[in-house]
Amino acid sequence: MKGYYGVILEVDLTQGKVEKKELPEEDALKFVGGRGLGTKIVWDHLKKPYIDPLSPENPLIFAAGPFSGYPFPSASRVTVVTKSPMTSPVKPPAKTASTIGYSNMGGFFGPAIRFAGYDAIVITGRASSPVYLVIDGDKVDIRDAGRIWSKKASELEELLPLELKGEGFETCYIGPAGENLVRYAAIIHTVGRAAGRAGVGCVMGSKRLKAIAVRGKKLPPVANHKEYLKILEELRKKFASSPSTARWRRYGTAYALLSSSDRGTQAVKNYREGTFLEIDRIGGVAAEEELWVRDTACYACPLGCKKIGVVRTGRYAGTIAEGPEYETGTMLGANLLVSNLDGLMREIADVDDYGLDQISTGNVIGFLMEAYDKGLIDKAFLDGIDLRWGDVEAVLSMIKKIAYREGVGDIAADGLNPLVEKIGEKTAEFAIQVKGHPLAAWNVHTRLTQGLCYATANRGACHLNGHSARSQDFNAFIDSTGICRFASGIYSREGISKALSAITGEAWTIEDCRKTGERIFNLEKCFNYREGFRREDDEIPERFFTEPLTIGPRKGAVIKRDQFKELLDKYYRERGWDVKTTKPSPAKLRALGLDFIIKGLGD
Amino acid sequence: MEEREGLFVPEFLAKNSLSRREFVKSALIGSGTLAFGGFLVKAEEKQGTGGEKPRYSLVIVDYNKCTGCRTCEAVCSQANERVIIDGEELLGLGNPAEARVKVVSYNFPPVDVPNRCLECPDAPCIEACPVSPDPNTGRKALYRDEKTLAIKNDPERCIGCGNCARACEQKRVGIIKQDKKTGRPTTLCTLCEGDPQCVRYCPYDALTHFTGDGRHFALSPDKIAKRLAELWYYSGNREVGR
């Protein structure tokens, strides 16, 4: 099939072995790339459940998509897929049972994988001492990482070019958090971009792999070159004239800091509220006025949604970071009642620098703040940190403790459930997670479907999952192409299917795209089902049912348990899954071409 | 490196609101020295008096607008590395490895510098070309095209010595690379026969095709990046940037 190399680079760090493996055409057709293909590769590698996600067996996959490398607008995403080190079922059949993990990242790394001549990179094993990987087209080298180990993101950006001694490498790496196996460590690219969620940086750390550098000069031919050129031209025009392009450019996702707060949908005070009364101090308008210096964009992206800011005066002067975005500004701002914009920037900068997930870090610290506020933990528990709502210095201390697993940070680095175990069962009701994965910056009180989105996401709570089965299917498909979600609306579903047809030479319809997404979603689900995840794992925190919002335009909002249960019942039926257990029916799996997973799925 | 310290007065960098036309105009008729696109352009008094043929033509960059997206690389490659399919010449795939423009990215602090041939008026690359001028045209292997004012290489006469690449590296921005097999220069900007596609397709209007007269001083991407970083991130000046 055109548009692919049909080549997967597989690196076994235990044996120091590098192999080029064939990507079966059937897999490319059925799972496309990115999230879908990555999950299929994980499935093929892990032939049984309960394999320890931090063991050498767990593969860490960097999967580009069929759009990657071509200059299609906003199609730079690469998805990192692995078995998650963050999740566990309510009734674990084994200690090491966990979900699939996937996290996607923009920038230039995805295109670089393709320029080097591969559709995906698979890392297995564990190096005996820290290493980094250099992929220079066909030439692949595993090198000693002695000089760069323990370094932070900003330091690596200085050191890696000296190590690599060549132009044009794209790199991604882990910070101290990944090395220290913080469960929610991120993989960072260009300091400000990250595959942040699902603990992918922790898995990379467990392999003692500090960094990957990739470059190359190739690009696979497309099936229908003339059509490809026509679509490129059309898309470029469409993006240039789309009103949403202008909006992304002006504020990026930060526009939502104000609008979400105004609608009561923001995570505020550890999800207790949906509106932050001081949001105008850290929102997009304030950031534009106070901080932003320039916009940056991912490969061939006309949206330019990344805002680089600098703090010029005061205690945090000299801080340079990307943001605040909606997620970072909410999780480390509104959710912690931080309204000091300069301090918020310092938090964002540090979280990136240490290589943590912005979302999980803000969520975990919010949990600790609430426990402290309620007197369930004291200053001694927090190693002397006075972790009060809105205190930037306290947040900064906590971030560092987590990254280096110092004192209380050692437990906090393991995530919410271990903290609940340590502090006490009554804190469970405000541990804002699903399947062990912390919720993101969108609150649930006002919207039943937001609850469904989090509850049914295959990596654990995920704001990008989708609010209905249909949207989840399309989203899973888009995540497999390399196209950015911010841009998929401008493409339109028809536009994406036409472009994919021109690239591959296969006739893709909109329904093919949806069905492929459904296949991918079901494969992920089956992975989880095999690990022991059942209906009781699709539960959202108590807070959203029992503690109505007390401030803002949606004061009093709360979701109803029976309505939520009804919505889930309907959802499972629509999916063709058993309503009691959530097990996908053999008929559904057969219809999706997933016959190979029916056997061995368990009861 | 031919440059004058202290002459880098990036006035236009603070003026985001200028339209492209106004921007070029202000760069030319503004008094004194203005910096743009890694250039220092000294506006000559005779500018605007008309009648004289422009001496050079190039693509200039507004760094405030450049986001480092590399669309310029892709469209440059598409336009300059065409493919023949079923007997028809078409734009290429857009592999950035084949582009003449190369965005040099610095990730921390984030600065992006699109590097390209500056079509220098005094062209140290042409000066370094050892091929004797053709008695009819006066051209060496490396020469300035009269129509587009782009510096071109005649592959028939080029001996692949690499002098041009070395001159560019030592004296200017180091954009000229030698083809590994033939030794010929590979990354000369063609100005796309007078209609640079990078300018046409830059989603951020960061690029401008400028034709005119004057003097300029080329800076390497490293030096430009250093100055931009100083200006944007360390000067404490709130008026700079977007």
Q: Residue by residue, what is the 3-state secondary structure of chain B?
A: CCCCCCCCCCHHHHCCCCCHHHHHHHHHHCCCEEEECCEEEECCCCCCCCCCCCCEEEEEECCCCCCCCCHHHHHHHHHHCCEEECCEEECCCCCHHHCCCEEEEECCCCEEEEECCCCCCCCHHHHHCCCCCCCCCCCCCEEECCCCCCEEECCCCCCCCCHHHHHHHHHCCCCCCECCCCCCECCCCCHHHHCCHHHHHCCCCCEEEEEECCECCCCCHHHHHHHHHHHHHHCCCCCCCC
Spacing of C-alpha A320 from chain mean position = 23
Answer yes or no: is pLDDT of B9 > 60: no
Answer yes or no: is pLDDT of B6 > 70: no
> Tokens 């559904």 identify what position?
A588
Q: Which ipTM value was assigned to this complex? A: 0.96
- Residue percentage of chain A with pLDDT more than 70: 100
**Token digits of residue B56:** 């050079």
d(CA A562, CA B126): 80
Rg (CA), chain B: 18
What is the model's pLDDT at position B51? 54
Distance from CA of B69 to the nearest CA of A (A): 5
Q: Residue A4: name the closest of A37, A28, A35 by CA.
A: A28
**Token digits of residue A483:** 């196209």
d(CA A346, CA A359): 15
What is the model's pLDDT at position B56? 85
Contact A153 B108 (CB under 8 A): yes
What is the model's pLDDT at position B116? 95
Place B44 in a pLDDT band, splitting at 50, 70 and 90: very low
The number of beta carbons lying within 10 Å of the beta carbon of residue A48 is 8
Answer yes or no: is pLDDT of B42 > 80: no
Among the partner residues A219, A222, A296, nearest to B67 by beta-carbon distance: A296
Answer yes or no: is pLDDT of B157 > 60: yes
Distance from CA of B204 to the nearest CA of A (A): 7
Q: Residue A108: name the closest of A138, A72, A69, A137 by CA.
A: A69
What is the model's pLDDT at position B212? 84
Distance from CA of A245 to the nearest CA of B (A): 10
d(CA B214, CA B120): 11
Mean local confidence (pLDDT), A65-69: 98
Answer yes or no: is pLDDT of A288 > 70: yes
Is A217's Cβ below 8 Å from some Cβ in B?
Answer: yes
What is the model's pLDDT at position A351? 98
Based on the structure, what is the number of domains in chain B? Answer: 1
Interface probe for A, chosen from B93, B103, B197, B198 (most Cβ of A below 10 Å), is B93
CA-based torsion, A395, A400, A401, A402: positive or negative: positive
The answer to whether the beta carbons of residues A77 and A122 sit under 8 Å apart is no
Distance from CA of B133 to the nearest CA of A (A): 35
* Residue-range domain boundaries for chain A: 1-444, 448-597
Mean local confidence (pLDDT), A553-558: 98
Interchain CB contacts (distance < 8 Å): A and B? 118
- Residue percentage of chain A with pLDDT more than 90: 99
Q: Residue A59: name the closest of A111, A101, A106 by CA.
A: A101
Instruction: Tell me which chain B residues have a C-beta less than 8 angstroms from the C-beta of A167.
Output: 104
Instruction: Tell me which chain A residues have a C-beta less than 8 angstroms from the C-beta of B83.
Output: 225
Contact B69 A299 (CB under 8 A): yes
Contact A300 B108 (CB under 8 A): no
Instruction: Tell me which chain B residues have a C-beta less than 8 angstroms from the C-beta of A244.
Output: none
d(CA B66, CA A237): 19
**Token digits of residue A515:** 């069905």
- DSSP-derived 3-state class of residue A383: coil
d(CA A510, CA A399): 44
Phi, psi for A69 (deg, rounded to 5): 95, -30
Among the partner residues A218, A240, A298, nearest to B69 by beta-carbon distance: A298
Contact B95 A219 (CB under 8 A): yes
Is A285's Cβ below 8 Å from some Cβ in B?
Answer: no
| Least confident segment among A19-33, A215-229, B46-60 | B46-60
Question: At residue A180, what is the residue type?
Answer: N
The answer to whether the beta carbons of residues A228 and A222 sit under 8 Å apart is yes
Answer yes or no: is pLDDT of A40 > 80: yes
pLDDT digits (tens, 9 = 90+) for A399-453: 999 999 999 999 999 999 999 999 999 999 999 999 999 999 999 999 999 999 9
Distance from CA of A293 to the nearest CA of B (A): 5
Q: Identify the DSSP state of A220.
A: P
Is A191's Cβ below 8 Å from some Cβ in B?
Answer: yes
For A:235-264, CB contacts with B below 8 A are 236, 239-240
> Tokens 């602090």 identify what position?
B109
Instruction: Tell me which chain A residues have a C-beta less than 8 angstroms from the C-beta of B70.
Output: 108, 299-300
- DSSP-derived 3-state class of residue A76: coil
Spacing of C-alpha A37 from chain mean position = 16
d(CA B1, CA A514): 57
Place A603 in a pLDDT band, splitting at 50, 70 and 90: confident
Mean local confidence (pLDDT), A37-58: 98
Residue B30 falls inside a structural domain: yes
d(CA A307, CA B242): 10
Instruction: Tell me which chain A residues have a C-beta less than 8 angstroms from the C-beta of B68.
Output: 296-297
Residue B40 falls inside a structural domain: yes
Distance from CA of B116 to the nearest CA of A (A): 15
Provide CB contacts within 8 A for A102, sequence distance 6+.
Answer: A35, A38, A39, A79, A80, A81, A82, A198, A458, A459, A479, A524
d(CA A6, CA A4): 5
Mean local confidence (pLDDT), A78-85: 98
Is A381's Cβ below 8 Å from some Cβ in B?
Answer: no
CA-based torsion, A372, A376, A378, A380: positive or negative: negative
Report the relative pairing of strands A306-310 and A320-322 from DSSP bridges.
antiparallel
What is the model's pLDDT at position A3? 98
Among the partner residues B75, B90, B105, nearest to A225 by beta-carbon distance: B90
Among the partner residues B71, B110, B112, nearest to A71 by beta-carbon distance: B71
Q: Look over chain A and give the mean of its residue pLDDT values, rounded to a whole number.
A: 97
Contact B242 A292 (CB under 8 A): yes
Mean local confidence (pLDDT), B186-191: 95
Distance from CA of A131 to the nearest CA of B (A): 22
Residue B35 falls inside a structural domain: yes
Among the partner residues B64, B108, B241, nearest to A157 by beta-carbon distance: B108
What is the model's pLDDT at position A600? 80
**CB environment A66-105: b (16+ within 10 A), e (fewer):** bbbbbbbbbbbbbbbbbbbbbbbbeeeeeebbbbbbbbbb
Is A320's Cβ below 8 Å from some Cβ in B?
Answer: yes
pLDDT digits (tens, 9 = 90+) for B104-134: 999 999 999 999 999 998 899 999 999 999 9
Contact A115 B97 (CB under 8 A): yes
Q: What is the residue range of B208's domain? A: 1-67+102-116+204-242
Answer yes or no: is pLDDT of B36 > 70: no
Instruction: Tell me which chain B residues have a C-beta less than 8 angstroms from the C-beta of A240.
Output: 203
Q: Look over chain B and give the mean of its residue pLDDT values, rounded to a whole number.
A: 82
Using CA coordinates, name the residue in chain A closest to B91: A229
What is the model's pLDDT at position B55? 77
pLDDT digits (tens, 9 = 90+) for B192-215: 999 999 999 999 999 999 888 766
Place B216 in a pLDDT band, splitting at 50, 70 and 90: low
Answer yes or no: is pLDDT of A502 > 80: yes
For A:69-108, CB contacts with B below 8 A are 69-71, 73, 108
Among the partner residues B104, B232, B242, nearest to A295 by beta-carbon distance: B242
Interior CA angle at B178 toward B207 and B36, to 5°?
A: 20
Higher pLDDT, A270 or B36: A270
Q: Residue B124: name the closest of B144, B138, B104 by CA.
A: B144
d(CA A403, CA A202): 11
Higher pLDDT, A178 or B13: A178
Is A225's Cβ below 8 Å from some Cβ in B?
Answer: yes
Q: Environment class of residue A241 by beta-carbon count within 10 Å: exposed (0-12), middle (13-18) or buried (19+)?
A: exposed
Reported residue count of chain B is 242
What is the model's pLDDT at position B8? 28
Distance from CA of B191 to the nearest CA of A (A): 20
Using CA coordinates, name the residue in chain B closest to A171: B107
Is A415's Cβ below 8 Å from some Cβ in B?
Answer: no
Contact B110 A218 (CB under 8 A): no
For A:323-352, CB contacts with B below 8 A are none
> Tokens 């679509």 identify what position?
A231
Contact B242 A192 (CB under 8 A): no
Please give the order of strands across the beta sheet that includes A320-322.
Answer: A292-296, A306-310, A320-322
Answer yes or no: is pLDDT of B187 > 80: yes
Answer yes or no: is pLDDT of A6 > 70: yes
Higher pLDDT, A71 or B45: A71
Instruction: Tell me which chain B residues have a C-beta less than 8 angstroms from the C-beta of A313.
Output: 236
Residue B208 falls inside a structural domain: yes
The number of beta carbons lying within 10 Å of the beta carbon of residue B224 is 25
Answer yes or no: is pLDDT of B33 > 60: no
H-state helical runs in A32-151: 34-45, 109-115
Interface probe for A, chosen from B72, B107, B197, B234 (most Cβ of A below 10 Å), is B107
Using CA coordinates, name the residue in chain B closest to A250: B242
Among the partner residues A296, A300, A304, nearest to B74 by beta-carbon distance: A300
Q: Identify the DSSP state of A42.
A: H
Mean local confidence (pLDDT), A12-16: 98
Residue B45 falls inside a structural domain: yes
Instruction: Tell me which chain A residues have a C-beta less than 8 angstroms from the C-beta of B69.
Output: 296-302, 304
CA atoms within 13 A on the CB side of B59: 31
Q: Environment class of residue A412 by beta-carbon count within 10 Å: exposed (0-12), middle (13-18) or buried (19+)?
A: buried
What is the model's pLDDT at position B52? 62
Answer yes or no: is pLDDT of B142 > 50: yes
For A:104-163, CB contacts with B below 8 A are 108, 115, 153-154, 157-158
Higher pLDDT, B238 or B1: B238
Among the partner residues B74, B107, B203, nearest to A191 by beta-carbon distance: B107
The CATH class, in words, for A448-597 is: mainly alpha
Mean local confidence (pLDDT), B212-219: 73
Is A219's Cβ below 8 Å from some Cβ in B?
Answer: yes
d(CA B208, CA B199): 6
DSSP calls for A237-281: HHHHH-HHHHHHHHHGGGHHHHHHHHHT-B-BTTTTBS--TTGGG
* Domain range A1-444, CATH architecture: 4-Layer Sandwich (3.60)
Interface probe for A, chosen from B85, B103, B108, B111 (most Cβ of A below 10 Å), is B108
Mean local confidence (pLDDT), A195-203: 98
Mean local confidence (pLDDT), A185-202: 97
